[in-house]
Chains A and B, each alone.
Chain A
Amino acid sequence: MQSSENEYLTIALPKGKLFPLAVDLFREAGISADGLTDSSRKLVITNEAQKVKFIISKTADVPTYVEYGAADIGIIGKDVLVESGQDVYELLDLGFGKCHLMMAVPKDKKRDKLTDYTHTRVATKFPHIAEKFFNEHGMQMEYIKLNGSIELGPIVGLSESIVDIVETGTTLKENNLEEIVHIMDASARLVANRVSFRLKFDRIYSLTEKMKQILTERAEGNK
C-alpha cells in the first residue's frame, strides 16, 4: 500500500558553502523552488507543482532531520555526517565540497611522532571523529570542543593541537600550523532516510541516477 506518489519529497539542505552547489545540482536534476537561497527567512520552501519541499537548516542538523524522517533526503558533508553518528543511508558521493580532516600542531612545537602527543589537549569541532581516531592509535586525549576558529586553540594556549577540516591549507599556514596526520577525506554526500528510501524509492532512485549522470558529465567536461 503506497500513497507516496501524492506526497512531498522533503529535502534538507545545509546553510553555508555547500548550499549553492547543492541547489545547482538539484536545479540541473530538474528540481528547484522559488526563493531558494540560504539567506531566506523562510525555513521551508515548497514547490507545489513538483511536490517538493526544501528545508534549510544548520549544517550539523541535516543528518538529524534525515535520520528522524523529517526530511526524506539531504545533502551533507561526510565530515559532519560521520561526526553526527546518525544512521542514514549514504546514496551518492557528490564530489564537491572536498576537504580532509587532519591533525595540526604549531610548527615550532612539532614532536617526533604522533604518540608523543598522548594525554595532550586537542581543540576540535569533531570530538567524536577525533576520539575514534586517537583510540585506534591507543591514545587518550583531552578534547576541547570549539564551534569555530579552531586554529585559535594552540595560539592562545588552549590546546597543544587541533583536529579540523582543511580545504587549501591557507588558514593553517597563516596561523603557523602544520598538518601532521591525515585523518579522513570528506566531500558532499546525498543521504536518505531508511524508511523514505523504501516508501519513496522510485523518486529517490531516479533522482540519484540523474545526479550520478550529471556528475559523470561534469567530470568528463572537465577533462
Chain B
Amino acid sequence: MQPKTKIFSAVLSACCLFPYQLASAAEDYREGINMPVGVTEISRSTYDLHMLITIICALIGVVVYGVLIWSLVKYRKSKGAKAADFHESTTIEIVWTLIPILILVAMAIPSTGVLRQIYDASESEMDILITGYQWRWQYSYLDDEGEEVSFFSNLATTDDQINGLDEKSENYLLEVDQPLVIPVDTKVRFLLTAADVIHSWWVPDFAVKKDAIPGFINESWVIVEETGTYRGQCTELCGQDHGFMPVVVEVVEQEEFDRWYAERQEEAAAIAELVNQEWTMESLVAQGETVYRTFCMACHQQNGQGLPPAFPALTGSPLTNGPIEDHIDVVLNGAPGTAMAAFGGQLNEVDLAAVITYERNALGNSVGDMVTPAEIFQIQSESE
C-alpha cells in the first residue's frame, strides 16, 4: 500500500470513525475484517457493490462529521461564541433532500443489475437439492441416470474440542464428514428446502445465502471459477445446534467430479446389496453405535440419558424396551409435533436397523431382539 493512501485512510478513519480503512486495507487484511471477494462472478460484483456503498457512506460521513466537529470546535461558548439567529431555510432543506436522492439513485442502479443477475437461475447444467435438517445438511444430486446419489453432511468437530478437552483443529466448527462436491466452471443450480425448521445455506465465497424453508423450494446458483474447499455456516436460527451445522463445498475439476460421482453411485448400489446381506446382532450394534453418535446423540445424549423433559431418555424407556414395532415406528416416522424427526427418509435401511438394534441392546438396555435391514426395507415399502 502507498504511504500516502495509508495516511489518508488513517486520517479518515480517525475523524469519521468509519471503516474507511476497509477500502484501502482490503487487499491486505481481507481475511478476518472484510467481506471476501470470493470465487464467482456474483461474489465479485457483490464485493464491489459492498465497497462502493461503504466508500460512499464513508465520504458522506467525512462531510457530515467534518461539519459537526468543526462546529463543536469553533462555536464553543467557552471560546466566546455568540449564537447566531437563523433557524430555517427552505432552499437548503431542498438541497439536502435532493443530493441524497441522487446518491441513492447512483447506488440503486448497480444494485439492481447485480440482483437481476443473481435471480437468473436458468440454463443450469446440474441441479442439487439441498435439504436442511436439525442439524445437518442433505445433498441430493438430481440426476435421472444410475443409482441416486444423496448423503448427509454432518459437523466433524468433536465434542471434546468444543468443550475444551481437546485442542481445537484448524477448521474448528467449519469441517464436515462429507462435503458437497461440485465441478468447477459449471452452472450448478441449488434447490433449497428444509425438513423441519427454517435453515439458511451460506457460503461467503460464493455470495450465496438462501433460506431453506420447510415445504417450499428456493433457488440459487453458482459458477465457481476456482477449485478449492469453501466453508460457510447455517445462518438462520434453527434450534440448539444452529451454531454447529457448517457447510463445506469441495470444488473440483470436471474429471475428478465424474470419478467421485461414479464412486458414490457404486456405493449406493453397494448399500442396496448390504440390505439383503446376513446381519448379526453384534455387527448391527457395532454399526449402530456410529449412527447413534452422528444422528441421535445430540438430543438423546451419549449414554442414552437424554435431556428431559425436552429429549426423553432412551435408557429404560418403555419404547426402547417394549414391542419392537413401536420402536421402529418412532424412529421411521418420528413423533409429529416434537423435535423427534422421521428418520425413515434420512437414513438407509442398514443404518436404521443398526441404530434401532443398538438402542435396544446398548445404552443400558438389553432387550435381546433385533431388526434386520431387510425387515426395515419391507416395512418401508409396505407403508408406501
**A and B are partners in one complex rather than unrelated chains:** no
